[in-house]
Amino acid sequence: MTDLSGRTALVTGGAQGLGEGMARALAAAGAKVAVADVKDGEGTKVAESIGGTFVHLDVTDDASWEAGAAAAVDALGGLDILVNNAGVEITSLVTELDPNDVKKMLEVNVLGTALGLKHGLRTMRPDGAAGNGGVIINVASVAATIAFPGISVYSATKSAVDRLTRVAAMESGKLGYGVRINCIYPGLVPTEMGVGLAVDTANLGLFESPDAAVAGVVDLTPSGRLGTVEDMADAVAFLASDQAKFINGVGLPVDGGMGM
């Protein structure tokens, strides 16, 4: 069983969905966890339920990141693990793209992850407020590895998360920061976002129904099922642990083989 006793962690988008599951998994493994989100009420409830702390954080805002990282260090007594999970998906055919939707996905998924890397590294590197190195795990998507209809911009942003991960890992190593950086590629999970995707692609005429959309995903998945929140959370806990101490600068598919 993964042991994170004595570690401290910050999870963005931790108020619900995958982020909540990841926060719970890290806490169950022994870490002290800060749940970060713009949803104060929901985030506080999750934090209280795992004996952690809540940090208000808008991942698209540089000043919010600076304050949030400092608040996490103060509350937890350090920062060893950062999970850049916050993300949004807005389904659209390429011919119908709304520039505002594109900007929102770019800001949350790409800028949010980039700022997380910035402030995570600044906090964990030897001259930072925590200063003991650590682990950063970014959440990309199987959408970065396949051509699934209706999610062109989302796929592009998650491909960007992969690239950010690898370059940041190389910089961290070259500059002696002592921070490992990896990402995971989750498959489709029936969270609010996953269910919404199935409904949206059916509404666009890409599938006969939401159930048909889900069946299409399962048909593409050798493991023969959708992913679960626990599948994704377990992968994050593993990458955060010493069991993964020589895994660095890579993307781990957690998609049942869908993206192979």
Question: Could you give the CA distance from residue 246 to residue 248 in angstroms, rounded to a whole number?
Answer: 6
Beta strands in 21-170 (DSSP E): 32-37, 53-56, 81-84, 134-139
| Beta strands at 53-56 and 81-84: parallel, antiparallel or unpaired | unpaired
User: What is the Cα–Cα distance from 12 to 60, expressed in whole angstroms?
Assistant: 11
Told to judge if 154 belongs to the known catalytic residues of this protein, a careful annotator would answer yes
Q: Of 54, 148, 154, 207, which one is the catalytic site residue? A: 154
CA dihedral 135, 32, 125, 55 (to 10 degrees): 100
Q: Which two tokens stand for residue 11?
A: 């999870």
Q: Which of 100, 194, 183 is nearest to 137 (CA)?
A: 183
Question: Could you give the residue numbers annotated as active site?
Answer: 154
